[in-house]
């Protein structure tokens, strides 16, 4: 029996068909038949509503807030002004927060992580430029028994692109040279991008030739994010490209990651679980 739906008879390929009221044109209600599995998903979505604190009022942070609200979560946003000297991430101010999502800047993300983890709050972090501290942060998360999930990019398309690049990376073992080009808007603080570094890493893991993969960065206009991988030999060229048309894919992925993480403990990277979302 689906929780909260007492009128769902058994039978059918998905565990039965039930009824759900829908308003009609005359203001009355008619009942539309829905699969039990769909009804369960509706119920579970209600149970998963969270109180989210989103750190960062940049373009991506704003979209994350919109995506979270669209999925019926309760959202509070703290920009640099609200979080001056860590004011938004004190233990007292985090009491009613279920999970924190960080899309800030490299110079303040570590302080935010440390405050939230020490307060026992799970975190999803999309800010890059701090990865040299990963081992220390992993140990901190384990010490405080919280949940932590990070990514250079929460787009499902980018994570599929990473898998394609990993497969293609063996070209470096067959007389090809490799190079990565990345382009972002002029406001981006770090270079190379976290996604370009992730590409470099997965290609290096596949080929064993990390030191041979150069990254070239460009900062121009309002480019959302373009990443190109080129493998070249005397005979031919292999060209791979991911070009983000908007930041919406990053935002939706971050919110889905938060829903996945909210009741979990441990240290995770989005590339290892995005297919589960």
List active site positions: 184, 188
Question: What do you get for the CA distance between the two ends of the chain, in Å?
Answer: 24
Query: Is there a contact between 56 and 127 (Cβ–Cβ < 8 Å)?
Result: yes
C-alpha to C-alpha distance for 20 and 36, rounded to whole angstroms: 10
What interhelical angle do 248-261 and 156-168 show, nearest 10? 90
Q: How many residues does the chain have?
A: 277
Tokens of 3: 């929780």
**DSSP symbol at 7:** T
Residue holding tokens 């787009």? Answer: 155
- Residue 271 gets the label, from left (phi > 0), alpha (psi -120 to 50) or beta, of alpha
Please, what is the Cα angle at 235 between 232 and 237, to 5 degrees? 35
Neighbours of 247 (CB within 10 A): 21
Residue spans of alpha helices (H) in the chain: 36-47, 59-70, 106-118, 134-144, 156-168, 194-207, 248-261
**242 CB-near residues (< 8 Å, 6+ apart):** 157, 158, 161, 226, 227
C-alpha to C-alpha distance for 3 and 24, rounded to whole angstroms: 26
Tokens of 102: 């960080």
Tokens of 200: 């470099």
């Amino acid at each position: 029996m689906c929780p909260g739906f007492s009128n769902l008879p058994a039978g059918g390929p998905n565990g039965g068909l039930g009824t759900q009221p829908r308003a009609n044109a005359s203001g009355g209600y008619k009942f539309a038949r829905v699969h039990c599995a769909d009804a369960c998903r509706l119920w579970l979505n209600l149970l998963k509503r969270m109180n989210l604190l989103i750190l960062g009022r940049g373009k991506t942070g704003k979209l994350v807030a919109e995506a979270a609200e669209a999925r019926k979560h309760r959202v509070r946003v703290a920009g640099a002004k609200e979080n001056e000297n860590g004011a938004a991430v004190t233990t007292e101010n985090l009491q009613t927060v279920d999970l924190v999502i960080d899309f800030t800047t490299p110079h303040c993300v570590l302080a935010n992580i440390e405050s939230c983890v020490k307060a026992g709050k799970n975190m999803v972090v999309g800010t890059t430029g701090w990865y040299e501290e990963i081992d220390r942060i992993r140990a901190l998360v384990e010490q405080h028994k919280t949940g932590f999930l990070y990514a250079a990019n929460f787009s499902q398309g980018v994570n599929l692109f990473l898998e394609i690049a990993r497969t293609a990376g063996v070209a470096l073992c067959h007389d090809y040279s490799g190079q990565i080009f990345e382009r972002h808007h002029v406001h981006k603080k770090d270079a190379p991008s976290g996604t370009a570094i992730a590409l470099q890493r997965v290609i290096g893991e596949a080929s064993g030739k990390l030191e041979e993969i150069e990254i070239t960065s460009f900062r121009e206009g309002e480019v959302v994010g373009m990443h190109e991988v080129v493998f070249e030999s005397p005979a031919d060229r292999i060209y791979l490209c991911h070009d983000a048309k908007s930041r919406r894919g990053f935002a939706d992925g971050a919110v889905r990651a938060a829903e996945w993480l909210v009741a979990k403990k441990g240290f995770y990277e989005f590339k290892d679980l995005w297919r589960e979302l």
